[in-house]
Amino acid sequence: MMAAMSLVSPELSLDPDQRDAGDVTHFWRVPRHHGLDCLRATFRRHAYARHTHETYAVAAILSGCETFFHRGEQHYAGPGAVAVVCPDEIHDGEPYGGGFEYRTFYPSPELMQEIAEDVAGRPLSRPPWFRHSVMHDPELALAHAELHVCLCRDDSWASEMEQDTRLVDYLARLIARWADLDGLPRVRGCSKGIARVRDYLDTHLGQEAELAELARIAGLSRSHFIRAFRKETGLTPHAYLLDRRFRAAGRLLGQGESPGDVAAACGFFDQSHLNRVFKARMGVTPGIFRAA
């Protein structure tokens, strides 16, 4: 069944640095579906830094193997696998062995809840949650890849009705087979002191934060604060701040703001700093993300 994956159209590299490294990417957006982002890529060297998204990340592996950290464990996904990371969950990703080729969707919680309510036939209090990080489901992986081709902006043969029908059908099958509509996801606890620091960082993204000041806000010594913050959030204070700046940059770029203005607004040293941080977490540069 997976041999049909050869029908997937070839990638278009939009980043010379990636092409020189043996990595190939193509990123685009489907605005009418709550700004659905799409990425097709072959990565031989690129490694994602640990980060989070406001959306889901749903990937089908076509060839090779990707390994990624998620929910405290290292996972491996090969051909025929579908990997899902829910919103706000820390993860990374890199090639295992010679590299991997995959297709990724970033559906919003709003879109996923709409589809989940169609599947359930009733209102739901929250978007669906997925217990498994990696699901071996070749049939679903093939449908994922075919949908990716159909949604690609370069494939003018597909009407919007066909695109929308395929998207709804695929997400409905994904949710019906693998989502938990009523079970509660695991929630990482957060003490009041660390919560105050997170709130402070979230509201001061454009400013430099001093470790001593953050420790004071948490009511802890600096060494205790660093350990507690990492234990409760899964990231160091600096990595957390970069992650939140990355997410804020994505929102502004999606609104058409220039990378230079976004870098200044989100507290990056300069546009080059934004480029490095953003590409390490999204797989593409801010300019490509904005152009989509």
Least-confidence region, from 7-16, 37-46, 59-68, 164-173? 7-16
Judge whether 203 lies within some domain: yes
Residues 123 and 36 in one domain: yes
Residues 71 and 39 in one domain: yes
Judge whether 199 lies within some domain: yes
Least-confidence region, from 81-90, 143-152, 171-180, 183-192? 183-192
Cβ contact 48:25 at 8 Å: no
| Average pLDDT for 103-130 | 96
Judge whether 249 lies within some domain: yes
For residue range 118-147, list pLDDT tens digits in order. 999 999 999 999 999 999 999 999 999 999
**Structural domain that includes position 219:** 192-233+235-291
Residues 8 and 114 in one domain: yes
Judge whether 38 lies within some domain: yes
Residue 269 has pLDDT above 80, yes or no: yes
> How high does pLDDT run on average in the chain?
90
Judge whether 196 lies within some domain: yes
Residues 109 and 212 in one domain: no
- The confidence score (pLDDT) of residue 4 equals 36
- The confidence score (pLDDT) of residue 20 equals 66
Compute the chain's Rg from CA coordinates. Answer: 19
Residue 158 has pLDDT above 80, yes or no: no
User: Taking the CA of residue 1 as centre, how many other CA atoms within 13 Å lie in the half-sphere pointing to its CB?
Assistant: 12
For residue range 91-101, list pLDDT tens digits in order. 999 999 999 99
| Average pLDDT for 169-187 | 88
Using pLDDT thresholds of 50, 70 and 90, give the confidence band for residue 7.
very low
| Average pLDDT for 182-203 | 84
Final residue before a domain boundary, out of 139, 160, 180: 180
Residues 75 and 169 in one domain: yes
CATH number at residue 207: 1.10.10.60
Long-range contacts of 111-119 (CB under 8 A, 24+ apart): 111/33, 111/34, 111/36, 111/171, 112/56, 112/171, 112/175, 115/168, 115/171, 115/172, 115/175, 116/175, 116/179, 116/181, 118/168, 118/172, 119/172, 119/175, 119/176, 119/181
Give the single-character DSSP code of 125: S
CATH number at residue 23: 2.60.120.10
Judge whether 185 lies within some domain: no
Judge whether 187 lies within some domain: no
Residue 2 has pLDDT above 50, yes or no: no
Q: Which residue has the higher pLDDT, 5 or 56?
A: 56
**C-alpha span between 262 and 218 (Å, rounded):** 29
Residues 146 and 202 in one domain: no
- The confidence score (pLDDT) of residue 112 equals 97
For residue range 222-242, list pLDDT tens digits in order. 999 999 999 999 999 999 999
Residues 98 and 198 in one domain: no
For residue range 235-267, list pLDDT tens digits in order. 999 999 999 999 999 999 999 999 999 999 999
- The confidence score (pLDDT) of residue 93 equals 98
Residues 108 and 137 in one domain: yes
Residue 84 has pLDDT above 60, yes or no: yes
Final residue before a domain boundary, out of 135, 155, 180: 180
Residues 26 and 169 in one domain: yes
The total number of structural domains in the chain stands at: 2
Residues 167 and 225 in one domain: no
Q: Alpha helix (H) ranges present in the chain?
A: 16-20, 109-120, 138-151, 160-178, 192-203, 211-218, 222-233, 237-254, 259-265, 271-282, 286-291
Residues 287 and 164 in one domain: no
- The confidence score (pLDDT) of residue 209 equals 87
Residues 10 and 152 in one domain: yes
- The confidence score (pLDDT) of residue 18 equals 66
Tell me what percent of the residues of the chain surpass a pLDDT of 70. 88
Cβ contact 77:65 at 8 Å: yes
Judge whether 148 lies within some domain: yes
Residue 183 has pLDDT above 90, yes or no: no
- The confidence score (pLDDT) of residue 182 equals 83
